Chain A
Amino acid sequence: GESVGLHLPTLSVQEGDNSIINCAYSNSASDYFIWYKQESGKGPQFIIDIRSNMDKRQGQRVTVLLNKTVKHLSLQIAATQPGDSAVYFCAENAGQAGTALIFGKGTTLSVSS
């Protein structure tokens, strides 16, 4: 079935390092992908998105890479800060006419000072 998964449930980095969070998706028909950040006690918060006609998109300190050949998505966070500590989810649009977001299970990023 359609699913979005993350390679690692946890990732620990030092403050100032670059972080890379990976995600594999299975639905070749998905054409829109989003990364969300969820801090403890809060709802998911949009970070960055990318459409399937692109392979890279940059935001402020974040970059999303899309490799459609191997159905792989990654989120790169530059100069990781303690405030980046959270659970990160990738999501793909799926279902009929893209009526649903299918979420991965999340990667917990821990940033130590």
Chain B
Amino acid sequence: EAQVTQNPRYLITVTGKKLTVTCSQNMNHEYMSWYRQDPGLGLRQIYYSMNVEVTDKGDVPEGYKVSRKEKRNFPLILESPSPNQTSLYFCASSTGPMNTEAFFGQGTRLTVV
């Protein structure tokens, strides 16, 4: 089954404690991206990757890092989480840079206290 898998689904952490949210897709997609979803603000892109070792900033990259060492995985790293990063995060993948259907993961609800 074609899918995008995120882990964990839920996470509560403390300010400053580094964390990683993993994302994996099994569709051999080249393009992957991370979004955060906040009430009243919709979905905003954090980072995207057009292929292995190729990543770039989206609209709200501050406080986040990503890596793309292999095609299927695109982890999101918060080196020093802060409460304003409390949000619902989605990973997405597609065959190309957003001119085709994007498949989304189930989401990761992160709370930073």
Partner-A contacts on B (CB < 8 A) = 4, 33, 35, 40-45, 48, 50, 56, 58-59, 90, 92, 97-99, 101-107
Q: Which residue of chain B has its CB nearest to the CB of A9? A: B40
B106 to chain A, nearest CB (A): 5
Once bound together, how far apart are the Cα atoms of A45 and B104, in whole Å?
7
Q: Which residue of chain A has its CB nearest to the CB of B40? A: A105
Q: Which residue of chain A has its CB nearest to the CB of B56? A: A99
Q: Provide the residues of chain B in CB contact with A32, threshold 8 Å.
A: 98-99
| Neighbour of B102 across the interface among A41, A95, A101, A105, CB < 8 A | A101
Q: Does A25 contact B (CB under 8 A)?
A: no
Q: Are the C-beta atoms of A44 and B104 separated by less than 8 Å?
A: yes
Q: List 27 A-B contacts (CB under 8 A).
A: A31-B99, A34-B101, A41-B107, A42-B106, A43-B90, A43-B92, A43-B105, A43-B106, A44-B43, A44-B104, A46-B103, A89-B42, A93-B98, A98-B97, A98-B98, A99-B56, A99-B98, A100-B48, A100-B58, A100-B59, A101-B43, A101-B98, A101-B102, A103-B42, A103-B43, A105-B40, A106-B42
Query: Which bracket fits the contact residues of A?
Result: 20 to 34
Partner-B contacts on A (CB < 8 A) = 31-32, 34, 36, 41-46, 49, 89, 91, 93, 95, 97-101, 103-106
A65 to chain B, nearest CB (A): 19
A44 to chain B, nearest CB (A): 5
